[in-house]
Copies of this chain bind each other. A is one copy, B any other.
């Protein structure tokens, strides 16, 4: 048997007891979120109608490096964590690469992804404040499922606005959210002003995360004892997801390893930001210099083809403005299969780090991603989510480069979740009816036109 185990699970004693706040080590902070009315930096109080107080605090906290994970959250993390760090022996062998490939697998829980890490935290803080009801949006359905689980656990009501094309492509996602008593509505819907407005302008829209966010925020603002929660993009989400990276780093230390390359798929940044957090810390503090690589879909290329600009986080323009890499809140991506990565913007923290040269980004095409997904499933016996398979594609390509260069690099990638609810996409890949889609420059320009013009800040 190989000396390094196939799967390393930390013991409960070895599990992190604190989240890591990457902002505390950034040389320059991301530009502040702006209140869309006053165009001044938002205050915690500005955020209270949307987020519960503790989360509003975390959202703006640039200074506390480590935040204790409350005991109640740890207790719930223990139900499905730690997630394993897996050595991809079979994949390495089959690629005939000298590279060592590790992946952190977050799919061993019912949400099928890493999303539960932040869902539990957000539901807990809401419950603690006496909030009765949460609203959210979901794309692929993993975040909605995770939040449904967390709300069921803490006894909160939940309304989920699910992007319409995903609602239709994945009927069973709704069913699983309903097992956890969530109310699921396809978005855009006629139940909110934002939804009605979007439908009036574009009756045939298949929806987008940006639309669904508008509806969920509106519902939260107009419902008693209700707050909005978001599964990605936000600083607080990256904070909670840092547990992925912290566990990975501890596990690699136990094995005497350190990654030369860290790879994550990138939609809004929740997984990528969490996975890379402690490695980026090493980079920011000069302790190490791993290559950090974001992988996004060619159909929704915010980092590789977007603008670094102030934008709304939603299509309905009700959220604060954040400076980030964005395709414009008006950009509606094609209804292809990378459901969970179809967001117009990118985490402001990751956008800033990318802008300042601390990480690299590439975009990959849908069919190449599914080729990698099937190859990986056959070797490692885990059926990956299409989102996760973006990282697999890049990891395989890096391992092939290692073979060609004869370099034994250590690669770490995030396998965010499983693809059990994506069989329609797998079938279309097998039948060779899967479409690739790359927006034209003209299509991108149309999205950029939706960027807000802000006097003195942005033309």
Contacts and interface: CB of A to CB of B under 8 A. Distances in A.
Interface of A: 1, 5-7, 9, 11-12, 71, 74-75, 78-80, 90, 108-110, 112, 116, 149, 152-153, 171-172, 175-176, 178-181, 374, 377-383, 418, 420-421, 423-424, 426-427, 430
B79 A179 contact: no
A420 B178 CA distance: 13
A78 B79 CA distance: 22
Contact of A1 (B74, B80, B109): B74
Nearest to A84: B9
B6 A78 contact: yes
A184 B423 CA distance: 15
A149 B79 contact: no
A430 B179 contact: yes
A382 B116 CA distance: 12
Contacts of A75: 1
B12 A5 contact: yes
B5 A381 contact: no
Contacts of A78: 1, 5-7
B90 A381 contact: no
A406 to B, nearest CB: 26
Q: Is the interface of A mostly helix, strand, loop or mixed?
A: helix
A1 B77 CA distance: 12
Contacts of A152: 378
Given A175-B423, A175-B426, A79 B5 contact: no
B80 A381 contact: yes
Given A5-B11, A78-B1, A381 B176 contact: no
Contacts of A430: 175, 178-179
A7 B11 CA distance: 9
8 contacts: A7-B9, A80-B382, A110-B382, A110-B418, A153-B379, A153-B381, A175-B423, A175-B430
B421 A110 contact: no
Nearest to A116: B381
Nearest to A173: B423
A179 B6 contact: no
B153 A378 contact: yes
Contacts of A5: 11-12, 78
Nearest to A12: B5
B381 A110 contact: yes
A427 B178 contact: yes
Give the 7 A-B residue pairs with the shortest CB-CB distance, closest first. Answer: A172-B423, A175-B423, A6-B78, A420-B420, A9-B9, A175-B427, A5-B12
B179 A110 contact: no
Contacts of A179: 374, 377-378, 383, 426, 430
Given A110-B382, A179-B383, 12 more contacts: A1-B71, A5-B11, A5-B78, A7-B9, A7-B79, A110-B381, A110-B418, A172-B424, A175-B427, A178-B430, A179-B374, A420-B421
Contacts of A427: 175, 178
Nearest to A171: B423
A15 to B, nearest CB: 10
Contacts of A374: 179
Most chain B beta-carbon contacts within 10 A, residue among A7, A9, A110, A381: A381
A432 to B, nearest CB: 13
Nearest to A377: B179
A149 B381 contact: yes
Nearest to A74: B1
B74 A79 contact: no
A423 B1 CA distance: 39
Contact of A108 (B108, B178, B421): B108
Contacts of A426: 175-176, 178-179
Contacts of A175: 423-424, 426-427, 430
Contacts of A1: 12, 71, 74-75, 78
B172 A6 contact: no
Contact of A380 (B11, B79, B172, B377): B79
A109 B381 CA distance: 7
Nearest to A428: B175
A110 B377 contact: yes
A256 B108 CA distance: 27
A31 to B, nearest CB: 37
